[in-house]
Structure 1
Amino acid sequence: MQRSNCWQGQDRRKVMIVDIVLDVDGRDNKEMETSYFFDIALMPYLSGHERTEKEWAKLFFDAGFTDYKITPAFGLRSLIQELTCNKG
């Protein structure tokens, strides 16, 4: 039986992330420019990129989380909370 990554954590734990959540439709050009700048800055060091909410959701569900909450709170950055781990 293969268990999800979050299964290894303790019960009632919350994972909190502060990162950019791309919203292509709702952002103005300056915000998109800044997001793309971060993408370019991350590429050579971390092979990273900024994610849309759909991409974040796939990442969470693939890791075994069944619920998440995204709260825009810090300019371009949002508070992302993974709330429920599927321990099955």
Structure 2
Amino acid sequence: MTQIEPKQIDALAAEVSRLYASLEDAGRGTLEALRETDPTIVEELIATFESEDKAARWLISRTIGFGGRSAVDLLAQGDREQVMLALGHLRYGFCA
């Protein structure tokens, strides 16, 4: 087994931090773009998560419920209905 040196771990940790920050920026950018193209979904996101940061994070997070894809992946494929359905389930529960 090859041993990783502390400098390598520090460099990897710094890169991971940079990637997470970039991903969060992308989530906020997506939320802002949706304000222009689909304000209703933004209203639902914020009502569901009660925070723009949490809403933006959920938009870009891959989930099992979406088959390992993110909500923004589904929106990009035109599957708005599945995203709205998921938001309804999160906000109101799974009962019809």
TM-score between both structures, scaled by the size of structure 2: 0.29
TM-score between both structures, scaled by the size of structure 1: 0.31
- Choose between structure 1 and 2: higher strand proportion: 1
Q: Which has the larger radius of gyration?
A: 2
Determine which structure has greater relative contact order: mean sequence separation of CA pairs < 8 Å that are 6+ residues apart, divided by chain length: 1
